[in-house]
Amino acid sequence: MVQRMFGRVALATGVVSAIFVSVACSSSDGGGTGSDVGAACDAYFDKVVSGQYSCLGVTFPADVTASQRARFRTECIAGLGYPGQGITAATLSACASVYGSASCRGSTGAGAACGAVTGSLADGAACNSASQCKSGFCNQSASGADGGAAPSGCGVCAPSVAVGQSCATGTCTVGAECVGGTCIATGSVAVGGACNSAVDCQTGLTCSAQKCAALSASGGACSTSAGCQTGLVCDKNVCGTPIAIGGDCSATSPSCATGAVCDYAGTKKCLAIAFAKPGAPCGLTSSGYALCAVGSCNSAGGAAGTCPAIIADGQACDGTDKTKTCDSLARCSGGVCVLGQSVCK
């Protein structure tokens, strides 16, 4: 599935969880020329990754975005070259188009373009992602293909459960999810149908009380802001107009506009969210609330802190020093910052 395996793009700690992209192919060039593959990776980053910033109402530093885009491209091209995989550069571009035209709220309807893609590896073969496997399932809790312990992030292709079949004792194939004991295709459930999350529902719907439902207009019922139409927030279980930046949020639960947060412990005002570069102040600052563009704010409680310095790829790290962090998409592995993951064998 094109949002499950391949990267760890940390958009902003505390705002967006890591995005996981499963990119693969049936040949070493990702099913196209080198320029096709690079363009597909760039399109995915621009539409899906950077698109999240727009939905959040925040602006990311241009130079950090450019660096992340280049690093994403490197890892994406490598991921498109994993053996036996089914997603091509064309598939990735189509997925990016779906996300690019989707609303910020509700299901994107990306299941068909981004979901049910399987590969050519037989059961028992080592895999990085589900879309390498004929079965559509990469069991990452299994031992390695040679019987030993599998490297972190690696798994083994294994039998899966098809759409419409019981998932009581098995795992659904890629592009499907176990809902109510049956595997359903993501993005296929209509209003009133059972769901685990919005991704199960048809385009534009949300999952509320485990049922697919239309997004609520102003004055409509809600449990979270995700159940309201774009631009509205859920406050006291009712969708309504959010409080603008600089507005007083002391009389209500924090329901500031997108891109803002309520300083309910201090000024009681809605503060604009910004992003700080390495070494810069973060947390509550004189100009608003700052998150780190890379890594997490090194602070205690709600106090101001400092964004961590960047450790270059290939340099030493220990994973415990909060004043330093590996760069975007990299991880601390074996005491060294590493970008990407090797092909599982």
Note the pLDDT tens digit of each residue in 246-294.
Answer: 999 888 666 888 889 888 888 889 999 989 999 999 988 777 889 999 9
Q: Which two tokens stand for residue 182?
A: 């049956």
For 118, list phi and psi in degrees, rounded to 5: -115, 165
| Cα four-point dihedral sign 151, 152, 154, 155 | positive
Mean pLDDT of the chain: 82
Q: Which residues lie across from 285 on neighbouring strands?
A: 288
Looking up tokens 């400092």 gives 306
With a pLDDT cut of 90, the percent of the chain lying above it is 43
* Confidence (pTM): 0.79
For residue 229, the model assigns a pLDDT of 93
For residue 147, the model assigns a pLDDT of 59
Query: What span, in angstroms and rounded, lies between the C-alpha atoms of 338 and 319?
Result: 12
Predicted confidence (pLDDT) per residue in 19-39, tens digit? 223 333 223 344 456 578 899
Q: List the beta strands (DSSP E) in 110-167.
A: 126-127, 138-139, 155-157
For 285, list phi and psi in degrees, rounded to 5: -120, 180
User: Cβ(344)–Cβ(150) under 8 Å?
Assistant: yes
- Greater confidence (9 vs 313) lies with 313
Q: Judging by beta carbons within 10 Å of its beta carbon (0-12, 13-18, 19+), is residue 270 exposed, middle or buried?
A: buried
For residue 254, the model assigns a pLDDT of 66
Of 13-22, 23-32, 76-85, 101-110, the range with the lowest mean pLDDT is 13-22
| Cβ partners under 8 Å of residue 75, min gap 6 | 6, 7, 329, 339, 340
For residue 4, the model assigns a pLDDT of 32
Query: What span, in angstroms and rounded, lies between the C-alpha atoms of 110 and 169?
Result: 27
Query: What span, in angstroms and rounded, lies between the C-alpha atoms of 158 and 113?
Result: 23
Q: List the beta strands (DSSP E) in 152-259.
A: 155-157, 176-179, 182-185, 205-208, 211-214, 233-235, 238-240
pLDDT score of 330 more than 50: yes
Across 105-132, average pLDDT: 86
Q: List the beta strands (DSSP E) in the chain.
A: 126-127, 138-139, 155-157, 176-179, 182-185, 205-208, 211-214, 233-235, 238-240, 260-262, 270-276, 281-285, 288-292, 305-306, 309-311, 324-326, 330-333, 336-339
CA distances from 82 to 8, 76, 146, 221, 266 (A): 17, 10, 19, 46, 51
Q: Which residues lie across from 298 on neighbouring strands?
A: 306
Q: If you compute the radius of gyration of the chain from its CA atoms, what whole number of angstroms results?
A: 21
